[in-house]
Amino acid sequence: KTIESTYDFAKYKTPTGNKLSCKGWVQEAALRMLLNNLDPEVAERPEDLIVYGGRGKAARNIESLDLIIKALQNLEEDETLLIQSGKPVGILPTHKDAPRVLISNSQLVPKWATWEHFSELEQKGLMMYGQMTAGSWIYIGSQGIVQGTYETFSAIARKHFNNTLKNTLSITAGLGGMGGAQPLAVTMNDGVCLVAEVEEWRIQKRIETRYLDIYFNDIDEAIDRAIEAKINGEALSIGVKCNIIHLLQRCIERNITPDILTDQTSAHDPIIGYFPHEISQEQANILRETNPEQYLEMANRSMRLHVELMLELQQKGAITFDYGNNLRGRAYEQGLKNAFDFPGFVPAYIRPLFCEGKGPFRWAALSGDPEDIKVTDELILSLFPENESLKRWMTMAQERIAFQGLPARICWLGQGEREKAGLAFNELVRTGKVKAPIVIGRDHLDTGSVASPNRETEAMLDGSDAVADWPVLNALINTAGGASWVSLHHGGGVGMGYSIHAGMVIVADGTEDAAKRLKRVLHNDPAMGVIRHADAGYDIAKDVARQHRIKRVLNSE
Ligand code: NAD
């Protein structure tokens, strides 16, 4: 029996409204967010339980999904459900302030932490790839990444282009769950974005959700329209159905150099997420099944060439950066010694924000009512009136972002701000200004929750890139503080062996108890990031720690 034949969209529809199907709002929130991850509007391939990012799943298989649902429905207020790589394995007694769910996904002992070994275990039904927010049930569709991508392109605009991307051309690839945010983030910064994507259905999906404006099947037509838009100063995003290698080769042939160049194919998982350029999409889909070794060989060759082409365009003046998919790492593994000649996006643009405890704060309205998000949007704008870029983002997000699944919002908030917002949301619930509790979470890509030497912790000031104690401490402190569910994952974003990261979600249900938990967790979680960066020697982080009276254990202060 295949998974496809047993997936029942009606059965797994996310409950909405203010009636409980579990024994408390925290369990209910976990249930709704799990099912929301698999909502066909949200997930890339719900029938395979795949949420985003190559093979990032919400549950190991249909049987596990059913068992998790049942366990959450019966879970008491003093019990904790344990999830081992997408499978529920036990319910143990805890207490009301403990997390209701603890999740560990894709952990392997370091010497065995390879895709080969992982895939063997996965085929035996023993493991699941949790990516970041897929297996930790707090993915909210492409919006989640739009804000991060918007922040990155805004930082590029500030650093290189006088605060705006008007009259600039960005070229990239991949219109998947994460990559689909790129065109919108560029046009929100007033630029032109040309994106190569192999699979037509992905392009269609981004057009439908208004993340992408137009698309072409012909590479030259797409390039011509992009150049025209750049000259005219239009904000326009253009998809082109082709392999990125063919697009970059054609740009070089025509002597066209983009202003900005990056990539968001799923290079972290070459077999599932990267299409080789020497064969068609149809041939690739067959080869992947019939001869995965040969597929891998071809994908590796393509990824090396891909990076070579990016380096060539960088030489010609394109501002080039790796967008967190480990593409450089793959090319380096294939012997391309200078693969790391262009930087990753974190050291280039995001780290100063991490030093302030800033990261992707997100929330969803469990009621399912978009009006509730409107209320929270207004509240956020009133809480932080001095924050201009937040205001710009929120205004554009309201206008341009179509909700997928449960209505949700994201904005980057820092130390102090997250706690303030969380407590204010709890008040909205308590006073009935929203129709049901609000669930608050974040990506694992955050200030204090991840060790990933080719991405979030690339080029740390003290060389501590690969030290993974920090995400482990992050998961432990969030558990101790009483987050609603806490997760610790391996391999998200960049693939097996390359990262360890933690997630947390906390529910604002309007109660006093929730307020106490929110205050602790939303203080401690970003504080881990401030401490981590201060410990690595970043001055901004040291200042922020002092301003917010975060106790660091030091001789001198
Ligand atoms: P996804 O698997 O949903 O989508 C990848 C897309 O790339 C697919 O649509 C695929 O058809 C396309 N593609 C693959 N090879 C191609 C090629 N050669 N030419 C053109 N298109 C090609 O993945 P996603 O969720 O969009 O994530 C993309 C990557 O970004 C992943 O590696 C992910 O880990 C990484 N990521 C980055 C960030 C970040 O903040 N920068 C965050 C999360 C994930």
Q: Tell whether the model's pLDDT for residue 118 goes beyond 90.
A: yes
**How far apart are the CA of 451 and the centre of ligand 1, in A?**
20
267 is in an annotated binding site: yes
Return the residue matching tokens 């006093």: 512
- Nearest atom in ligand 1 to the alpha carbon of residue 267 is 32
pTM exceeds 0.90: no
Return the residue matching tokens 């341009």: 400
Closest CA to 238 of 188, 172, 178: 172
Q: Give, using CA atoms, the residue closest to atom 4 of ligand 1.
A: 176
Phi then psi for 522, rounded to 5 degrees?
Answer: -80, -10
DSSP for residue 369: -
Question: Is 326 within 8 Å of 494 (Cβ atoms)?
Answer: yes
For the chain, what is the mean pLDDT? 95
Catalytically annotated residues:
411
Q: Give, using CA atoms, the residue closest to atom 21 of ligand 1.
A: 197
Burial class (CB in 10 A: 0-12, 13-18, 19+), 519: middle
Q: Who has greater pLDDT, 531 or 177?
A: 531
Question: Which residue among 287, 301, 325, 443 has the greatest number of ligand 1 atoms within 8 angstroms of its CB, and so is best to mutate?
Answer: 325
Assigned domain for 314 exists = yes
204 is in an annotated binding site: no
Question: Is 142 within 8 Å of 443 (Cβ atoms)?
Answer: no
177 is in an annotated binding site: yes
Assigned domain for 308 exists = yes
In order of 356, 550, 556, the CA distances from 547 in angstroms are 10, 8, 16
- Nearest atom in ligand 1 to the alpha carbon of residue 272 is 2
Assigned domain for 424 exists = no
Interval 444-455: pLDDT, tens: 999 999 999 999
268 is in an annotated binding site: yes
Q: What percent of the chain has pLDDT over 70?
A: 99
Interval 22-42: pLDDT, tens: 999 999 999 999 999 999 999
How far out from the chain centre does Cα 111 lie?
Answer: 27
Confidence of residue 4 (pLDDT cuts 50, 70, 90): very low
**How far apart are the CA of 41 and the centre of ligand 1, in A?**
18
Q: Give, using CA atoms, the residue closest to atom 9 of ligand 1.
A: 176
Question: Is 157 within 8 Å of 189 (Cβ atoms)?
Answer: yes
221: domain CATH number is: 3.40.50.10730
Residues 6+ apart with CB under 8 A from 389: 154
Q: Give, using CA atoms, the residue closest to atom 8 of ligand 1.
A: 176
Q: Who has greater pLDDT, 44 or 308?
A: 308
Interval 471-521: pLDDT, tens: 999 999 999 999 999 999 999 989 999 999 999 999 999 999 999 999 999
Assigned domain for 227 exists = yes
**How far apart are the CA of 272 and the centre of ligand 1, in A?**
10
Assigned domain for 63 exists = no
127 is in an annotated binding site: no
Question: Which residue among 132, 146, 178, 443 has the greatest number of ligand 1 atoms within 8 angstroms of its CB, and so is best to mutate?
Answer: 178
Interval 339-366: pLDDT, tens: 999 999 999 899 999 999 999 999 999 9
Phi then psi for 398, rounded to 5 degrees?
Answer: -60, -40
Q: What is the total count of domains within the chain?
A: 1
**How far apart are the CA of 197 and the centre of ligand 1, in A?**
10
Closest CA to 452 of 351, 331, 333: 351
Which amino acids bring their CB within 6 angstroms of ligand 1? 44, 52-54, 145, 148, 173-179, 196-199, 202, 243-244, 264-268, 273-275, 323-325, 445, 493
pLDDT of residue 557: 57
pLDDT of residue 178: 86
> For 430-434, which contacts have Cβ atoms below 8 Å and span 24 or more sequence positions?
430/510, 430/511, 431/510, 433/375, 434/365, 434/367, 434/372, 434/375, 434/376
pLDDT of residue 486: 98
Residues 6+ apart with CB under 8 A from 135: 56, 57, 58, 85, 86, 103, 105, 106, 128, 129, 487, 489
Calpha distance 410→388 (Å, rounded): 16
Q: How many CB atoms lie within 10 A of CB 555?
A: 4
Assigned domain for 76 exists = no
Interval 67-94: pLDDT, tens: 999 999 999 999 999 999 999 999 999 9
Copy the structure tokens of residue 197. Answer: 């994507």
- Nearest atom in ligand 1 to the alpha carbon of residue 148 is 40
**How far apart are the CA of 59 and the centre of ligand 1, in A?**
21
Residues 6+ apart with CB under 8 A from 61: 3, 49, 86, 87, 125
Phi then psi for 56, rounded to 5 degrees?
Answer: -70, 115
Beta bridge partners of 505: 441, 485
416 is in an annotated binding site: no
Coil, strand or helix at 492: coil
Question: Is 484 within 8 Å of 402 (Cβ atoms)?
Answer: no
Assigned domain for 326 exists = yes
Question: Is 193 within 8 Å of 204 (Cβ atoms)?
Answer: no
Assigned domain for 78 exists = no
Q: Tell whether the model's pLDDT for residue 3 goes beyond 60.
A: no
Phi then psi for 508, rounded to 5 degrees?
Answer: -100, 100
Beta bridge partners of 102: 82, 486
Beta bridge partners of 81: 91, 101
**How far apart are the CA of 431 and the centre of ligand 1, in A?**
42
- Nearest atom in ligand 1 to the alpha carbon of residue 132 is 43
pLDDT of residue 200: 97
Question: Which residue among 37, 138, 263, 265 has the greatest number of ligand 1 atoms within 8 angstroms of its CB, and so is best to mutate?
Answer: 265
Domain around 304? 164-342
Q: Tell whether the model's pLDDT for residue 202 goes beyond 70.
A: yes
Q: Tell whether the model's pLDDT for residue 201 goes beyond 70.
A: yes
Phi then psi for 365, rounded to 5 degrees?
Answer: -90, 110
